[in-house]
Amino acid sequence: MVREFMYKSFSVIGIACFLISASFAEFRIWEDKAGKVWEGEFVTMNAGKVVIQDRDGKKQEYSPDELSENDVSYLEEIIPPRLSLDVSKSSDSSTSGKAESIICRASIKKANTRSYKGELTAVLVIIAEEMRTGAFSKAGASKEFTFTLPEKHGVPVEFETSSIKLAKSSAKSGRVYAGYVLVVWDRFGNPIAVKSNRDSFLERAARIARPHNG
């Protein structure tokens, strides 16, 4: 069975972006199903082929079906699948006439059926706008959530921020809700999926929503 991997791709669904870098490359021993053994590091995926580079810099492409089960399991741990991200907002204005409490909820699931065994960390940030100056800033603490993806396709992982009190959108002063930034990071510290309600937030997403240990 051919196993498909996504790597170093960039696409936009709405304004959700997916990006993977190769900062986790490491030299290791590989083996094909014929018993051939060699040392190399994973570089990228190219048209469904695994690109492996030896210490002399020579690159060779292999079909995942040519590699040992151990190598395929390794790839399943380091190459995250494409993700589908969704963020919803709820508000409660019953506590005060001029303020409302905001909560953002994130839903993350695999957009394909490929297995992935690695641990991921999602960071969700609510962004506020100062009405007098138009300046944007974080509204309260970021919500950081570490998880593994369910094996079953289409099953989401969900979490939410703490309640943040902001001025109502009709206010002429104070800080009001402006949007959110959601970034998913792999275990190597690479941002692999990003979603926001504003293009301008996407440009700085990796700086806005970094894990505490990032």
* CATH architecture of the domain covering 21-78: Roll (2.30)
Q: In the chain, where are the structural domains located?
A: 21-78, 83-208
Residue 143 has which token pair?
């919500």
Say whether pLDDT at 197 is over 80.
yes
Pick from 93, 95, 131, 108: nearest CA to 182: 108
Q: pLDDT-based confidence at 26, cuts 50/70/90? A: confident
Q: Give 41 or 24, the one with higher predicted confidence.
A: 41
Give the sheet arrangement for strand 37-46, strand by strand. 27-31, 37-46, 49-53, 59-62
Is the CATH number of domain 83-208 2.60.40.10? Answer: yes
Per-residue pLDDT at 138 exceeds 50: yes
Secondary structure class of 76 (helix, strand, coil)? helix
Given pLDDT bands bounded at 50, 70 and 90, which one contains residue 60? very high
Hey, is 74 helix, strand or coil? helix
- Collect all residues with Cβ–Cβ distance below 8 Å to 69 and sequence separation of at least 6: none
